[in-house]
Amino acid sequence: MLSFATLSSHQFTPVQKISTHSPEDADPKLSTHFSTPSQIKQLHAQLLKSGLPISTLPFPQIAAICALDYPSSFSYARQIFQLSTDTSETFLWNSHLQSLSISATPADALALFVRLRLFNVPFDEFTLSFVLNACSKLSRLYVGRAIHALVEKISFLRSNVYLLNTIVHMYACCGEMDLARMLFDRMLMRDVVSWNIMISQLAKRGEMESARELFDLMPEKSVRSWTALIAGYVQGKNPHEGIRLFEEMQEIGLRPNEVTVVAVLAACADLSELDLGRRVHEYSDRCGFWKNVRVCNTLIDMYIKCGCIETARKVFDGMVDRTVVSWSAMISGHAMHGQGKKALELFSRMTQAGLQPNGITFVGLLHACSHMGLLEEGRRFFASMTKDYGIMPKIEHYGCMVDLLSRAGLLDEAREFIKNMPIKPNSVVWGALLGGARVHKNVEIGEEAIRYLVKLDPLNDGYYVVQSNIYATAGRYDDVARMRCIMRERGVKKTPGWSTISLDGIMHKFVAGDDDHPQLPEIEERWNELLHEMRQRGYVPNTSVVLLDMDEVEKEKVVFRHSEKLAVVFGLMSTPPGMPIRVMKNLRVCDDCHAALKLISEITRRELIIRDRNRFHCFKDGTCSCNGYW
Ligand code: ZN
Ligand code: ZN
């Protein structure tokens, strides 16, 4: 009798030894009426009622059916397999190999294959493909090579496209892309799967040029081929191309699947492409994808990044199953949008539901505490991470803590905290301290932070700008001039600020100081009207944000042409009253724009949602959701 006793997992205790009868002994009524595990259970119940011996059951078939129903019926199947005396049938082994190859312990499939060979059980292309899949999952190249050699020896398998595809896939998964490509090039016959394997593996590695080349050569493209390429572009930080292909794919009448939807939603999130995101959302609802957790998680992320926190919450609330990713995304979303209380409420609900938070959940929680100035809660969460959940804090958690302490005005404590960190602080950590120094107008702490920042991130102009602002606020204009010199000496270039706004599916981009926009005269006219009203409400341009050496009037002109101002004014002109304006900005919003946008939201009674490099500012009725901390 064969046994699984040598395998590492899925151990079980044999209950009773059963010998199976030959098929002619089996009750025909019993043996033919099942194809699912639940039908087998019914059969089992009938059998017990009728008093017939359990050996009447056709064990190999039962074991094969149950083995495919991984993991729920798998252990039952293994018991039957072990207790059966007739285990020479290939399909029985195959069903077990298939389940094991996709299980959490694919090494068991390799061990089982060794036993199959030991007992001279005949195998077929399916047997080998399951073993190869296990090799792919385990990156076990030497076993994969041995199977490949076995295939080469058997003439009828050598040209089996299905099997060759699995071998190509195995080589690619084991990092042998050149071998995979060589084999693919040598294949006499290829099917759509062969092409898709190569395209998706190249795309996963970011080799988009080669992936595209094959895609263009492919005789017949499937949804999968398009999806692989779209996902590759999105992951490779080229979301525009991803979206362009997605539109092309729909034009030729192909229907995107769940994976395509996830990829294109991620592109929409990257670009704040709300209109397309909404259309994809409608489409996926029509297709019934709302049940898919990954689709829902990506929708939540997309809506959060497009500044629609309420819609994100609606998706979250409507989810049938939620994973830790869904909870963490929603917690971070509330924190990012200045709704710290909602973030903490969600965390309580999450733990009450028995879900284990992960490191990302805590980043969201710490952000929420930082934002609301909940110092003690923040400290408690930070301690609880390790103590209650065994999660070691990473650099981002330390960054959050420095942010929390700095915002609360505990700058000395924040500095001490950085010095006692067990890992080397990065620019984000020092940047958080610099931010605190700006808010609390502490020149000395700012100077300390900038000393480290110029070493860690020497060409990032953002830090010099913040430090200059600190000097300017303190009236130390000589130091402002000195910062300007340092920047020049070190060759630090000011990153041009740009903002985008999407209207009717068209993305409009504004670059700071832009003179080329065709509608600039109208934008200026509207801006001057607004400026008049803003001045009446006490607005004084804050030109300390301009680091250039020029007179005051010139400096005003520069701040008035900041890209987010241009984009917002353009949005106000181009949309009906009451409609929220959503703008994405590549840099941090400056002090002057922040003050101006507050007033504009009050004057125009519009909600202005600005996504900057770090967070969201939701300006409404003269206030901002960031409470002045950003
Ligand atoms: Zn600005
Ligand atoms: Zn703000």
Q: What residues contact residue 487 under an 8 Å CB cut-off, 6+ apart?
A: 461, 464, 494, 547
Can you give the pLDDT at residue 30?
Answer: 53
Can you give the pLDDT at residue 32?
Answer: 55
Ligand (nearest to CA of 559): 1
Q: Which residues have CB less than 5 Å away from ligand 1 (the ion)?
A: 562, 590, 593
Can you give the pLDDT at residue 537?
Answer: 93
Ligand (nearest to CA of 617): 2
Nearest-angstrom CA–CA distance, 24 and 163 = 35
Rounded to the nearest whole angstrom, what is the distance from the C-alpha of residue 335 to the centroid of ligand 2? 13
Ligand (nearest to CA of 562): 1
Ligand (nearest to CA of 616): 2
Rounded to the nearest whole angstrom, what is the distance from the C-alpha of residue 584 to the centroid of ligand 2? 13
Classify 616 as helix, strand or coil.
Answer: strand
Rounded to the nearest whole angstrom, what is the distance from the C-alpha of residue 461 to the centroid of ligand 2? 21
For the entire predicted model, the pTM comes to 0.78
Ligand (nearest to CA of 546): 1
Q: What residues contact residue 98 under an 8 Å CB cut-off, 6+ apart?
A: 67, 68, 126, 130
Rounded to the nearest whole angstrom, what is the distance from the C-alpha of residue 334 to the centroid of ligand 2? 15
The phi and psi torsions of 252 (rounded to 5 degrees) equal -85, 10
Residue found by looking up tokens 């094959």 in the block: 214
Per the structure block, which two tokens stand in for 99?
Answer: 């389940």
Ligand (nearest to CA of 563): 1
Rounded to the nearest whole angstrom, what is the distance from the C-alpha of residue 528 to the centroid of ligand 1? 16
Ligand (nearest to CA of 587): 1
Can you give the pLDDT at residue 36?
Answer: 79
Can you give the pLDDT at residue 92?
Answer: 78
Can you give the pLDDT at residue 172?
Answer: 96
Query: Within 13 Å, how many C-alpha atoms sit on residue 431's CB side?
Result: 19
Rounded to the nearest whole angstrom, what is the distance from the C-alpha of residue 594 to the centroid of ligand 1? 7
- Give 491-530 as a 3 state SS string: CCCCCCCEEEEEECCEEEEEECCCCCCCCHHHHHHHHHHH
Can you give the pLDDT at residue 21?
Answer: 40
- 193 contacts 160 by C-beta, under 8 angstroms: no
Query: Within 13 Å, how many C-alpha atoms sit on residue 109's CB side?
Result: 30
Q: What residues contact residue 401 under an 8 Å CB cut-off, 6+ apart?
A: 366, 378, 382, 417
Q: What is the mean pLDDT of each run of 10 residues along the chain (630 residues)?
A: 37 32 44 71 77 67 70 71 67 84 88 86 92 95 95 88 96 95 94 95 95 94 95 93 94 94 95 91 93 96 92 95 95 90 95 94 94 91 95 95 93 95 94 92 94 90 88 88 87 87 88 83 94 94 76 86 94 94 91 94 95 88 85
Q: Which residues have CB less than 5 Å away from ligand 2 (the ion)?
A: 617, 624, 626
Rounded to the nearest whole angstrom, what is the distance from the C-alpha of residue 323 to the centroid of ligand 2? 31
Can you give the pLDDT at residue 488?
Answer: 86
Ligand (nearest to CA of 623): 2
Residue found by looking up tokens 């990257």 in the block: 270
Rounded to the nearest whole angstrom, what is the distance from the C-alpha of residue 511 to the centroid of ligand 2? 21
Nearest-angstrom CA–CA distance, 272 and 177 = 35
The string over 389-424, giving b where at least 16 C-beta atoms fall within 10 Å of a residue's C-beta and e elsewhere, is eebebeebbbbbbbbbbbbbebbeebbebbeeeeee
Ligand (nearest to CA of 619): 2
Can you give the pLDDT at residue 57?
Answer: 67
Rounded to the nearest whole angstrom, what is the distance from the C-alpha of residue 121 to the centroid of ligand 2? 70
Can you give the pLDDT at residue 20?
Answer: 39
Rounded to the nearest whole angstrom, what is the distance from the C-alpha of residue 561 to the centroid of ligand 1? 8
Can you give the pLDDT at residue 4?
Answer: 38
Rounded to the nearest whole angstrom, what is the distance from the C-alpha of residue 629 to the centroid of ligand 2? 7
